[in-house]
Structure 1
């Protein structure tokens, strides 16, 4: 979990997470130098599975997620925001998918709002479909066009794929979720689960913008994703060559 000024909602979210974790699981929370009482709320929850990392410098949510993922020790890693609510069955379903593929992505609903999400091209129910799990080229094109609802808070990955995923490129300042989605599709190993695994809380502080961007911002973001795709393909080739030579990452 990446946390920043989440005092109002983080306790409810942590409760929904801990209810689904096993005794040997962990909840890693990296706080990005919050200026409210977020850290005090987390420290006030008496559960040995929680590991709080309190940063002295604010680096933004992308670097915060990067650190949290890198600290994980369990074989399956599920990403989470600080202000959503996990729905029952999320961990079981996503963990089962991660037994088969490197990345898993689910759908989501909204907390206290409509279950269905409206898409950027007028879709009434913008969601991932299981049938598209193996259409990797189509998924990559959809990501580049902004037509795939990959949300980091609804995604997970195997720890074994971290050599491909980490470190995040220095030029990536947003869309860590799309980086992860590109990684799963470049690897040819991603599962779309049609379940809605969480309810997303919508408010003014959401990191994912709800309003359409201007044309210039859209073009810049797409060019960044093209760069990401190139980096991932190069990394995958290097890792494959090392594996063939018996060199472990």
Structure 2
């Protein structure tokens, strides 16, 4: 059995930057163990599995370690792949939790409609701050829907320099899915961020669409803006434009680059 597969770099228009994701086009669903094994074989931060339905696609996201309910860069990769290979200008994906994600072709870009999430004041354990290094803590928030902790620190320059102790970071908290560390922006971008997730996927995710469903509301309120430009300051780096369309809808616009196509061969 052959599965048509693609690898794309998301949130960038240059190969070998942004966040890579694998996309598998299925004719019918696979069992979860097989999808997990395929994700482990690709060994990227996420692999998306698309199953066509009447008017939309079911979409499942797997890291090499576990299934992930929502993944922005793999959604972007899936939409870009379909817009590149099929005559279509919009597509809808339904996640494992029943969330419908709508994506639209905008010239070479893809605009994705995502939920927008609130945060609540929270505490960061001292062990977590120690694992991050010497930072000036400005704010700590928690998002219930994504179970992400958000920490604002003092500068974009210091944010880029962070070199966390990931063993200590993972031990510092036992009930979150990931940690967003963010700082205010400059004349190019409204804010910067990095995303660490040793609890769910890997040490650091290069560019994280789902984290921006949290960041957009946080920075939108602080900056009194609905249109923002954001950059994730990982080694690979990636950008996106954000528009807060309503109290519960975020529009994320960026692009992706197809870097590989092939067939995944399943055992009989």
Task: Decide which structure has greater strand share.
Answer: 2
Task: Decide which structure has greater helix share.
Answer: 1
